[in-house]
Amino acid sequence: MVHGMGGKESDNYAMFLSLAGTAFLALRHHENVRGVPLLVRLMVGNKDLSIHSDPEQAVALMRERLCLNLSDTEAVSYTEELIETSISSKLWKAVDAIHSLGKRFLSFPAG
């Protein structure tokens, strides 16, 4: 994905980081955080949804992942660091390599 954006030094990648930070801040708004418990409770009875913990635990985990203890500036920095860590993850580099290898095999004409 980063390569498709033009690399880590590209304007497109910088825009991606900016938009990711903005989206994270929007999710952290008080009115959104207040609505999460209601949505989780509504989804509990849905047989197509798998919640492996009780609703209150799921809500607590969501609140934790939103890093509500951080300021907006700290939250944006956290988001950028999380993206950078994900990009440099050895697991994802291996997945990308396997994907590239698979594309080579699938691009050969059918015989």
* pLDDT given at position 55: 72
pLDDT digits (tens, 9 = 90+) for 15-50: 999 999 999 999 999 888 888 778 777 776 665 555
* pLDDT given at position 42: 76
* pLDDT given at position 47: 59
Find tokens 């607590």 and name the residue: 60
Report the mean per-residue pLDDT for the chain.
83
How many angstroms separate the CA atoms of 74 and 28, rounded? 12
- Region 72-97: what's the mean pLDDT? 88
How many distinct helices (H) and strands (E) make up the chain? 5, 0
Nearest to 71 by CA among 62, 59, 79: 79
pTM score above 0.75: no
- Region 43-64: what's the mean pLDDT? 70
Contact partners, residue 86, CB within 8 Å, separation at least 6: 92
How many angstroms separate the CA atoms of 41 and 43, rounded? 5
How many angstroms separate the CA atoms of 74 and 49, rounded? 32
